[in-house]
Amino acid sequence: MRAKLKIGKLVVIGVGLIGGSFALALKQAKAVGQVVGVGRGRKNLAAALKMRIIDEATTDATRAVHDADVVLLGTPVGQMPEVMAKIAPHLPSNAVITDGGSTKADVITHARRFLSEHYARFVPAHPVAGAEKSGAAAARADLYRDKTVILTPQPETGAPALRLVRAAWQRCGARVLQLDA
């Protein structure tokens, strides 16, 4: 059974295989209104726009998140601390933040440090899916279908944020499990 969900504005920071596939799956499920893609490379962002993965492209993460409902960090794990520190002062008080990183303990440590008052709305996630290709051109709406996504909420994680992130991954077609980091 697919969870009911409607996200007004999704911001994907790192529109590659993981982030792009998340956006495409939610668009296909009609579970998102607007998708803004944030990246460093204009060529990749242009490809994401052309493929209709995103509706708007920017290199300015701080501007992109100012009215976001959900933010997915789809960057490599090593880039997440810098991204978290940069966006935290600009996140709205209701924004839910999640990630698609392949490791969790270090991401959680960085989130606790850099997201400060937003930390209760951070839901760490690890999609157990992938491919040998990267970038927006590798994104597929069915990447998560019948795949496992592991959520690793912390004691501080708010129940509404956890429900929203669980529902988002389920709308992507994933089986969602909850484990310790």
Q: At 96, which helix (H) or strand (E)?
A: strand 96-99
pTM: 0.95
Q: What is the pLDDT of residue 2?
A: 52
Along the 181 residues of the chain, how does pLDDT read in single tens digits? 455 789 999 999 999 999 999 999 999 999 999 999 999 989 999 999 999 999 999 999 999 999 999 999 999 999 999 999 999 999 999 999 999 999 999 999 999 999 999 999 999 999 998 777 788 999 999 999 999 999 999 999 999 999 999 999 999 999 999 988 7
Q: What is the pLDDT of residue 3?
A: 57
Q: What is the pLDDT of residue 181?
A: 79
Q: What is the pLDDT of residue 1?
A: 42
Q: What is the pLDDT of residue 57?
A: 97
Q: What is the pLDDT of residue 75?
A: 95
Q: What is the pLDDT of residue 170?
A: 97
Using CA atoms, how far apart are residues 56 and 49, in angstroms rounded to an integer? 7
101: tokens are 């990183």
Using CA atoms, how far apart are residues 141 and 119, in angstroms rounded to an integer? 29
Using CA atoms, how far apart are residues 52 and 69, in angstroms rounded to an integer? 20
Residue 2: CB atoms within 10 Å: 11
Using CA atoms, how far apart are residues 22 and 16, in angstroms rounded to an integer? 10
Q: How far is CA 18 from the centre of its chain?
A: 8
Q: What is the pLDDT of residue 18?
A: 95
